[in-house]
A and B are shown apart, each in its own frame.
Chain A
């Protein structure tokens, strides 16, 4: 029998439409796969098989009645940052304990209204703070990818799936869902996608509603999908995006049919190559990956232009001021008073301190402290205000670039997937994972990672496309050309499956 979990989202959609299989069969295939895999990969923190089967049954009725919706019967994973009505939502933090929201995130609701099926809640770095999924209160997510040894065999060393959307990238690459929701504050969609051979897009700030998504840094957070293919990303983003009156930073602009733009090619498209992204010590394989991307786009008729984004080098330090500052305030609501965990102390201050010390993990505490510091009287101007000025300059860099180019091409990450513990002891090394991705969040632009090759260790590498505000369409068009040239990168062996 065909393994239904190997399908892309678009292929499964077609199979359901042709009634090659039912939504229930498709869903059951994923439930079985999750049961067999999750012990090893830990991608799901809460599988919801009963919920999924009920949704699939409804989808089968609709398909039979000829009233199928855009994502009818397609099983997805949902990052634990998205509030799910009546279903435990924790942002993978102990502090939320067994919190069950009485509401559904707008992005989630859009997907379920389009007929999608939720398989469960996906692991992530605690409050989306991390680049390796090592900060989750539910433990590490293990990448389905393993390094290729000199002997040509896959090493048994466990690699990180990237973060913060590590559960999403691992689940999609391991065929534990057709596609997954994710969020990206500084690279949390694109970096894990790059590290797992999947596609990830962070749309323009304001394209998706943030309502019902646990906030990390409000001015940077955006939802987006992680998928197996560029087409799947186009289908998913169309369904996730919407103007939402409940989020005043969401933008009232029509959401184009991204799928329809695929295959239009890049003839005449002006592609910018920013010199500032050629960082010191960039590895030869990353350089080669980038050159390959340039060559593919050139071959498809695009023109290549060297550009300068002069304030790039300030982006990472500025990001690590702005994001923790907002986080320190956003996470103040987790005080043990109304929901989540509480450690009762001898007085109010004691209760606050004990609760937050026990509820927040090390990295979250670190960022709250950094954020509190940079907003403090006497430091605000030197840190927060200056970082905001840098942010304006970064935006201006891009505004200037758009006079000359339509899209910017860079590597997504400076290196391929790393092993557990390799960077978790050194926060600065971990923060450098975001060096190519944070500028996009700081400027509010759409950014996308497409798998484009394998490292010398046989693990995936991704290329990043950066677009003009609300011009995701060009990203999809361009990404399709890269995917067509580079091919897809399925995980070579399913070592984690039981038996």
Chain B
């Protein structure tokens, strides 16, 4: 698949009064590391606890407290780097990013500035059928800040430090994207990879995955324009909207003869606009310097190799395998691998069965039903074994496709063993020619006028098939019914 992917062909131009414009997008994604404890303290990272109940002396920056690196967070960053096919740096350095804010107890954030743990890599995305490689610039580990609560008291702001010190991975892309769709596909794909790896749960509603979006516009072939950074966009839909409105804003300014100021902006989803947060002149001087409380972070290639050996199969490889082993279309395979749980479900259904048939039932019936009830596949009332049994009954001609849909409904709402249900409720497809012949004879005898019409107009056959199916409760094998009818009607 990789060979098909290319750099964006700049074929996503936005029309303006002075001609077409190209939008250039880079993303900084902040992904919360899936770990039980924080990056430099033993406090829990559990979501939704009482404010300030997961705060250690280190998180609250008490005098004389020191950070101690959480090895699991390091392992998670390495796994992520490997999943993004990136350079893993065996030596990296933690720096302090200094600024004052009440939700930042230390007065600095421990981050990685000059020497991140993960270097260059790439992510393959597919946007509107176009396969594209997006470069990853770097990934570094850093602490999250606490949360300021401004709505709790008329005169005061409160601070909840539960998040303070939670490990984040900041994943910085290269400015390789040329449309909002591509940016959305990038975040979607990145999220899928993180969830496969188990290094971030990707829950954007909880703020566990959020993006800073860098947007600039230019005339095709011109040098890069001045960029604006839209901070903390927390849904894939908003990322798309923010890019669209920001690109339009910049184009309008440029076409009116103005110039773009480099600045940090916020996306207001209610108003559908971006607003200035602070200009370049107001930008902080973070006074980065190596954190003297922490030694350089060093590990061996052997350690990296061990982590690599235990990585799960990633979505790109899984998709390729589904196409190859189960004969699926690239599209069907891509739908199935978007979530590891659905891919696993599919494989459990497909194992030892017709892969295409299994994919159809998972992608269409199961996903359709799950979506309708807004259920996650993990909460599906129907197990892979049950759906597999239904597929078996179809494959062995025991039931027709139509009956299978009824059976699906029964198993979905009532549960039980599909084969047994078919047996006890008499849903088995009738392939016994004798029984079908009798049913056909009865219909012919009762409708001599229709028989005459059919002789003149063979397409009337369909009416007869419907009648036979009706009289057999849908259980007659439609192919056999057709054959018998043709013979008896002399068509």
Contact = CB atoms under 8 A, between A and B. Distances in A.
Interface of A: 83, 89, 91, 96, 99, 101-103, 105, 210-215, 217-219, 245-249, 325-326, 328-329, 331-333, 335, 337-339, 348, 352, 372, 375-377, 380, 384
A332 B63 contact: no
Interface in B31-80: 57, 60-69
B299 interface: no
B294 interface: yes
A333 B64 contact: no
Given A332-B98, A335-B100, A375-B289, A212 B68 contact: no
A354 to B, nearest CB: 13
27 contacts: A83-B64, A91-B63, A99-B63, A101-B64, A103-B62, A210-B64, A210-B66, A211-B66, A214-B64, A246-B66, A247-B68, A248-B68, A248-B69, A248-B295, A249-B293, A249-B294, A249-B295, A325-B289, A328-B287, A329-B96, A329-B98, A329-B287, A332-B98, A332-B100, A337-B105, A375-B98, A375-B287
A311 B68 CA distance: 34
Contacts of A210: 64, 66
B21 interface: no
Contact of A101 (B62, B293, B295): B62
Nearest to A351: B102
Contacts, number: 96
B108 interface: yes
Given A217-B292, A384-B289, 16 more contacts: A83-B62, A99-B63, A210-B66, A211-B66, A212-B65, A218-B292, A247-B66, A249-B294, A249-B295, A329-B96, A332-B98, A333-B106, A335-B102, A375-B288, A375-B289, A380-B288
A380 B96 CA distance: 14
Contacts of A219: 292
Interface of B: 57, 60-69, 96, 98, 100, 102, 105-108, 159, 285, 287-289, 291-295
A99 B63 CA distance: 10
Nearest to A99: B63
Contacts of B69: 248
Contacts of A102: 57, 62
A191 B294 CA distance: 28
Closest A-B pairs by Cβ, 3 of them: A332-B107, A219-B292, A218-B292
B1 to A, nearest CB: 43
B488 to A, nearest CB: 88
A376 to B, nearest CB: 6
| Most B C-beta atoms less than 10 A away, residue of A83, A219, A245, A338 | A338
Nearest to B57: A103
A329 B68 contact: no
A96 B63 CA distance: 9
Nearest to A218: B292
Contacts of B62: 83, 101-103, 339
B63 A215 contact: yes
Contacts of B61: 333, 338
B102 A348 contact: yes
A233 B456 CA distance: 119
Given A332-B107, A333-B61, A338-B61, A326 B98 contact: no
| Most A C-beta atoms less than 10 A away, residue of B66, B69, B106 | B66
B63 A333 contact: yes
B289 A245 contact: no
A219 B98 CA distance: 17
A328 B292 CA distance: 13
A325 B294 CA distance: 16
A299 to B, nearest CB: 42
A99 B295 CA distance: 30
A62 B6 CA distance: 77
Contact of B107 (A103, A326, A333): A333
Contacts of A352: 100
Contacts of B291: 218
Contacts of A218: 291-293
| Most A C-beta atoms less than 10 A away, residue of B60, B287, B294 | B287
Nearest to A220: B292
B93 to A, nearest CB: 12
Contacts of A337: 102, 105, 159
A248 B294 contact: yes
B142 to A, nearest CB: 16
A103 B63 CA distance: 10
Contacts of A376: 285, 287
Contacts of B105: 333, 337-338
A33 to B, nearest CB: 29
B286 to A, nearest CB: 8
A189 B153 CA distance: 48
Contacts of B292: 217-219, 249, 326
Contacts of B96: 329
| Most B C-beta atoms less than 10 A away, residue of A96, A211, A337, A380 | A337
B167 to A, nearest CB: 16
A198 B69 CA distance: 39
| Most A C-beta atoms less than 10 A away, residue of B69, B102, B159 | B102
Contacts of B63: 83, 89, 91, 96, 99, 101, 214-215, 333
A376 B286 CA distance: 8
A379 to B, nearest CB: 10
Contacts of A99: 63
B107 A335 contact: yes
Nearest to A211: B66
A254 B387 CA distance: 63
Contacts of B289: 325, 329, 375, 380, 384
Nearest to A332: B107
A435 B159 CA distance: 45
Contact of B65 (A211, A217, A375): A211
A436 B260 CA distance: 55
Contacts of A217: 292
Nearest to A322: B292
Contacts of A380: 287-289
A359 to B, nearest CB: 13
B101 to A, nearest CB: 8
A71 B165 CA distance: 38
B97 to A, nearest CB: 10
Contacts of A101: 62-64
B372 to A, nearest CB: 49
B276 to A, nearest CB: 19
Contact of B293 (A91, A248, A332): A248
